[in-house]
Structures are given as C-alpha cells and as structure tokens.
Chain A
C-alpha cells in the first residue's frame, strides 16, 4: 500500500462516524453529553486517540500498512529504562493479582494493579485466571531472560498497542496505571527463573 493511501485511510478513519442524518451527533458527543467525570475518571478519557478511532472504525481489523504506521507511533511512547529490567517477581505477583487502578472507585494516586490474572494464566498456583489473553505459564522458561526478551516484555506491558495495534490489552504504562518499577516487577514475574511462572 502506498503511503498516500495510508494517509487517506487515517484521515478517513479520523473523520468520525459517517451518518446520513445531519442532525445526529457522533458517539463521542453522545458520551460527552451522557457521562460525567467522577474521581480520577475525567471526561478527557472520552476523547478517542488515533488508535482508538482506527480500531473502532475498522472493528479491530485495520489495514496492515495503517496498523504498522500507528504501531510505530505507539512504540515512540515507550521509554525503556537502562540496565536490567528484572524487578522483584514477588512484588510482581501481587501486582498481577490486583485489579485496582484508574477507575473512579480507586483513590487518586493509590498504587494500581496490572489486572493480569483477569485475562492471563501466570503462576500455576493461581487457578482463578481469565482466558481473554494467552496463557503466560512458563513464559521465561520457554524464552530465557536475556536483554531482548526483557525489553519485549517491558514494552508489551508498557504499551501493548506498539506490538499489536488493536490488542485488547490496556496500555498499562502509557495510561499511567503502572509505574516503571511495577512494570519491572511484572517482567521479573514473567522472566525470573525463580518466579513460580517458570517453575
């Protein structure tokens, strides 16, 4: 696909919902009319960014060239810390268990969780895990824990959309839900040889 066509698709998808009724308002305008800010859940969360618009517009199946372009933009949001990205897997396990953070019922500034077990299998001891995401059991055992895989795991948790534009996984670092240290702890949960994930 040519770059011009890609840009056209971006412009088209950013145009908002196309409707035959000139009196009709967009879904975003409807949401802004019918929703209210509460706690840390402020109204700006209703403004779709480029990827949210594209994923909505293309029902999570964007043209490959467009996805590539926007994934590259998402990659730029990630700052990779220098040195080892392996934190403490024990703290990581607690973060993976916690479904808190970023909602109007969570205290502003309180530590958020990763909600990981909501969707993924991790430690074999935790039987109550969701299946929306792939199983991460033995993640490090299968891949080792060198710098490349550390970087991948860190980046994926920080901003999953840099790797798969319309992934259903939240951008946990980019959205401010998790801190750099918390993400390192999750990387350790995935990659540390001592982590139950790899036992």
Chain B
C-alpha cells in the first residue's frame, strides 16, 4: 500500500466519532496494515551504509565498534544490550555504545553527536539509522540484557526506582501512566511496563518507525519524550538515568524474541 493511502486512513481514524465500539478491532487491523507496509527496511539499509561510512577526524567507519560480542560482531548483539562494558566501566545501551564508538574510533566530539541525536522526517539522525540497522541484525534473538555484573544489577535497581519516582511540575512517575491495567491516554493503550507480559511485546519492537510522524524513533528518544510529557527537565542523552530505565524495561522483557524494528501508529 502506498504511504499517502495510509495517511488518509490515519486521518479518517483520527476524526471524532470514528471510533465505534469495535474500535479495538479497527486499531488492530490498522496496526497490521501499517506493519505490512512499513518502510523500516529502508532505514536499515541507510543505517548499514552509515555504519560503513568513513567519518570524523580519524576518517574511519564504525565497523570495528564492539557492541559487546567483540569488535564488528553485530548479529545478536543488540538483543544482549544494555550490558556492562569493561572498557568504559559503564552499563551502556545501544545508543550510548554508539556514542562511545563515534568518539573513540572516529575521534568525533561527543557534543557534535549529542546536540541533536533525534532527527526529523526529512533528516533522520545517525542514531536513528544506525539503531534500525543494528537492531534489525538481532531479529529472532531473545532479549538477554546483562543482569550478572554488580553495575548491571545497580542499573536495573536505579531504573526500577526511577520508574516509580514522582516528581516534576505534574507529579508524574512512569507508573502514573504505565501502572494500571486497561487504561488509555486518548485512544492509546498503555502497557504496564513493570510487568513482563506488557514489557515483552514493547521492548521486542523498539526502535520503531512511527507512522504518525513518518520518523524512525529510538529508545533514547522514547525516554526523552516521556519525560518531556511528564513536564520534567530534559534527560541527557546516554546518561546513566536513561540507560538504567532502558535496562529495567529490557530486563522486564527478557526472553522475548526480538522482532523489530517495529512500526507504531
């Protein structure tokens, strides 16, 4: 199906009164339709080109980047993140590790990358393209983030505390929206991300292409935009707090076969 047709359908869904009693069924049908016609593969291909492109003061590609399984070993690597890395002494998610490789291998300045880590429909960011490519190479692999190292345990514990921590101008925690079964914001169902049965399908399909704004979105973006809507200050890209939340969510989803990058409404 052509994209304009999808958008027309999206608008017709957004119209007031369009949701009848069987709106759930309609939404499921719509979700299947957008998944069947997703442009995710295009992002994966662009990401592969970018992975192999020589860049930065050192004029090298990212091909020797170690995502945890050894330099340049990519298949199944994403499914084992976040994890502790001995070379940095930190637990890192995919984007944090990519930032590390861009600065160490390519010799680029971190500010150059973190200034705008999230792109637009016209210009996807490097993080978005690379995330699509690398996550795609974990399709079929079970999510198995690090849980044994003391820093991995600490990251999970911090993520869990953050999930239930209430602050900000509107007194929200993550659980304010993701804490109770069967609830929605507008028409959007809210997964209870502290529970494996809800965390599994979510974490198995991020990063994801969002039809509503035609953009590839990453987990770091998801954390960032939730905190924006929670009326907090902005989480720093690749900070320990963001990694801890991603660790908590991924551990809650562990064992689920990865099947992303996904396509979301």
The stretch of A77-85, A99-107, A145-153, A187-195 in contact with B is A99-107
What sequence of 0s and 1s flags, for each residue 93-130 of chain B, a beta carbon within 8 Å of any chain A beta carbon?
Answer: 00000000000000000000000000000000000000
B166 within 8 A of A: yes
Contact pattern, A 7-39, Cβ under 8 Å of B = 1, otherwise 0: 000000000010000000001101101111110
| Bound complex: CA A168 to CA B164 (Å) | 12
Report chain B residues within 8 Å CB of A158.
Answer: none
Please name all residues of chain A whose beta carbon is closer than 8 Å to the beta carbon of B180 when the two chains form the complex: 132
CB of B231 within 8 Å of the partner chain: yes
- Tell whether, in the assembled complex, residue A45 and residue B185 are in contact, meaning their CB atoms are under 8 Å apart: no
Partner of A41, one of B14, B165, B233, B239: B233
A residues touching B (Cβ–Cβ < 8 Å)? 17, 27-28, 30-31, 33-38, 41-43, 45-48, 51-52, 55-56, 59, 102-105, 117-119, 125-132, 161, 168, 170-171, 175-177
Would you call A131 and B233 a contact (CB within 8 A)? no
Contact (Cβ within 8 A) B233 A30: no
Residue pairs across A and B with CB atoms within 8 Å: the count is 132
A118-B185 contact given A30-B241, A46-B167, A127-B18, CB 8 Å threshold = yes
Residue of B169, B176, B227 most packed against chain A (CB within 10 A): B169
Q: Which residue of B176, B184, B233 contacts A104 across the interface (Cβ within 8 Å)?
A: B233
CA distance A119 to B14 in the complex (A): 17
Complex Cα gap A30–B161 (Å): 11
- Are A56 and B173 in contact, CB atoms less than 8 angstroms apart? yes
Are A105 and B177 touching (Cβ within 8 A)? no
Assembly CA distance A30 to B187 (angstroms): 34
CA distance A127 to B14 in the complex (A): 10
Q: List 9 A-B contacts (CB under 8 A).
A: A28-B167, A30-B158, A33-B241, A35-B234, A41-B231, A48-B167, A56-B173, A168-B176, A168-B177
CB pair B233–A35 under 8 Å, yes or no, is yes
* B158 vs chain A, min Cβ distance (A): 7
